[in-house]
Amino acid sequence: MAEVRLSSETRDLTRVERIGAHSHIRGLGLDSALEARAVSEGMVGQTSARKAAGVILQMIKDGKIAGRAVLIAGQPGTGKTAIAMGMAKSLGLETPFAMISGSEIFSLEMSKTEALMQALRKAIGVRIKEETEIIEGEVVEVQIDRPAVAGAASKTGKLTLKTTEMETVYDLGAKMIEALGKEKVQSGDVIAIDKASGKITKLGRSFARSRDYDAMGPQVKFVQCPDGELQKRKEVVHCVTLHEIDVINSR
């Protein structure tokens, strides 16, 4: 009878998403001396081209080059798009990257000029700073009062939030109850509510509730309970592309 050995070794499995031909690329795969590693950050081969792209990347980070175009030429399938994607990922998540093929420019619905203009504006990012009032705290209790007769009246409820220094009860309307349901907010979650728009952002789960369950998924993030006042003024930075601004203005 064959003997089966069980290994006690455990490994953390990082979430892998494959949604495209270049979705595995995380950077150029260079070391501190800008030398290309054999296999790193999803990049393999083309060491000279990766090193040259790394030099351009370092000049961009140092502020020595801006407003210039880099032409990467080569045969089909040699990794030109992969190097461009690696440069964009190395610059950070806020750097927009627009990938188009030649067949996308020619269309009966849109002129070539408009297609090129859209592609260029998708690749230009803008940082917009605004100061907003937010309510940030740990959810103590969510109480929803449903009407006895269906359709008689809209749902109402109460939301209890706390920080390390204070605790407050807020009255909820139908829209806020719907937003809480969409975000699946429950007691123990740390949330932030934008007073102007009513948008709810789940920041994580409080460390005080870390022992509520024996096992939790990898997407659960534990944060400290906020301190100070519940209502705060916070500077929020939005990173959008010029194309996204065009789409918003056209509505």
Residues in contact with 172: Cβ distance below 8 Å, sequence separation at least 6, in sequence order: 144, 156, 157, 158, 159, 180
Residue 251 maps to a domain:
no
Contact 185, 139 (CB under 8 A): yes
Total domains in the chain come to 2
Residues in contact with 94: Cβ distance below 8 Å, sequence separation at least 6, in sequence order: 125, 127, 239
Task: Please indicate, yes or no, whether residues 87 and 166 belong to a single structural domain of this protein.
Answer: no
Task: Please indicate, yes or no, whether residues 134 and 234 belong to a single structural domain of this protein.
Answer: yes
Task: Please indicate, yes or no, whether residues 139 and 83 belong to a single structural domain of this protein.
Answer: no
Q: Three-state DSSP class for 113?
A: helix
Task: Please indicate, yes or no, whether residues 203 and 152 belong to a single structural domain of this protein.
Answer: yes
Of the given ranges (13-17, 223-227, 237-241), which has the lowest mean pLDDT? 13-17
Residue 232 maps to a domain:
yes
Please check the confidence at residue 9 and state whether its pLDDT lies above 70.
no
Chain segment 141-195, per-residue pLDDT in tens = 888 887 766 655 577 888 889 888 888 888 888 888 888 888 888 888 898 888 8
Q: Three-state DSSP class for 41?
A: coil
Q: What is the Cα–Cα distance from 65 to 5, expressed in whole angstroms?
A: 58
Task: Please indicate, yes or no, whether residues 135 and 235 belong to a single structural domain of this protein.
Answer: yes
- For residue 102, which phi and psi values (nearest 5 degrees)? -60, -35
Residue 80 maps to a domain:
yes
Chain segment 55-94, per-residue pLDDT in tens = 999 998 888 887 788 888 989 888 888 898 888 888 888 8
B/e letters for 39-71, b = 16+ CB within 10 Å, e = fewer, are eebbbeebeebbebbbeebeebeeeeeeeeeee
Chain segment 90-130, per-residue pLDDT in tens = 888 888 888 888 888 888 888 999 999 999 999 898 998 88
Instruction: Output the domain CATH number for residue 220.
Output: 2.40.50.360
Residue keyed to tokens 């064959």: 2
Question: DSSP letter string over 206-217?
Answer: EGGGTTSSS---
Task: Please indicate, yes or no, whether residues 45 and 134 belong to a single structural domain of this protein.
Answer: no
Task: Please indicate, yes or no, whether residues 134 and 208 belong to a single structural domain of this protein.
Answer: yes
Predicted pLDDT at 245: 92
Residue 74 maps to a domain:
yes
Contact 147, 153 (CB under 8 A): yes
Predicted pLDDT at 18: 61
Predicted pLDDT at 8: 45
Predicted pLDDT at 118: 92
Task: Please indicate, yes or no, whether residues 198 and 148 belong to a single structural domain of this protein.
Answer: yes
Residue 51 maps to a domain:
yes
Chain segment 204-234, per-residue pLDDT in tens = 888 877 777 767 777 778 888 888 888 888 8
Predicted pLDDT at 10: 46
Please check the confidence at residue 242 and state whether its pLDDT lies above 90.
yes
Predicted pLDDT at 150: 62
Predicted pLDDT at 153: 59
Predicted pLDDT at 208: 78
What angle (nearest 5°) sits at the alpha carbon of residue 57, between those of residues 52 and 61? Answer: 150
Residue 226 maps to a domain:
yes
Structural domain containing residue 56: 39-95
Q: What DSSP element (H or E) covers 160?
A: strand 156-162
Task: Please indicate, yes or no, whether residues 60 and 139 belong to a single structural domain of this protein.
Answer: no
